[in-house]
Amino acid sequence: MVAMSKIATGNGHGENSPYFDGWKAYETNPFHPTERPEGVIQMGLAENQLCFNLIKNWLIKHPEASLCTPQGVNKFKETALFQDYHGMPEFRQAVAKFMGKVRGDRVKFDPDRIVMSGGATGAHEMVAFCLADPGEAFLVPTPYYPGFDRDLKWRTGVELVPVNCESCNNFKITRNALEAAYVKVQEANLRVKGLLITNPSNPLGTVLDRDTLKSMVRFINDKNIHLIGDEIYASTVFMEPEFVSISEIIEEEDVECNRDLIHIVYSLSKDMGFPGFRVGIVYSYNDSVVSCARKMSSFGLVSSQTQHLIASILSDDEFVDNFITESKKLLFNRHKYFTWSLSQVGIGCLKGNAGLFIWMDLRKLLKEETFAAEMELWRVITNEVKLNVSPGSSFHCQEPGWFRVCFANMDDYTMKVALLRIRTFMLKNNEAMVPLKLCRPSSLKLSLSRSLSRRMDDFMSPGIMSPHSPLPQSPLVRART
For residue 412, the tally of other CB atoms under 10 A from its CB is 15
3-state secondary structure of 401: coil
Q: Is there a cis peptide before residue 63, judged by omega within 30 degrees of 0?
A: no
Nearest partner of 24 among 48, 47, 8, 40, judged by Cα: 40
Strands of the sheet with 402-406, listed across from one edge? 348-349, 357-361, 402-406, 390-391
Displacement of CA 163 from its chain's centroid (Å)? 19
CA torsion 51→57→63→65, rounded to 10°? -30
The DSSP bridge partners found for residue 390 are 404
Residues 42, 31 contacting (CB under 8 angstroms): yes
DSSP summary character for residue 299: G
Give the catalytic positions in this structure: 145, 230, 232, 270
Nearest partner of 362 among 375, 353, 200, 147, judged by Cα: 375
Those residues whose C-beta lies under 8 Å from the C-beta of residue 47, and which sit 6 or more positions away, are 273, 275, 356, 406, 408, 409
Phi, psi (rounded to 5 degrees) for 336: -60, -45
Q: Where are the alpha helices (DSSP H) in 117-192?
A: 119-131, 148-151, 175-187
What single letter denotes the amino acid at residue 182? Answer: Y
Residues 403, 362 contacting (CB under 8 angstroms): yes
Cα separation, 264 vs 452, in Å, equals 45
Cα separation, 286 vs 264, in Å, equals 11
Those residues whose C-beta lies under 8 Å from the C-beta of residue 53, and which sit 6 or more positions away, are none
Residues 117, 281 contacting (CB under 8 angstroms): yes
Cα separation, 116 vs 122, in Å, equals 9
For residue 480, the tally of other CB atoms under 10 A from its CB is 13
Q: Is the dihedral of CA 126, 132, 137, 138 positive or negative?
A: negative
The DSSP bridge partners found for residue 228 are 196, 263
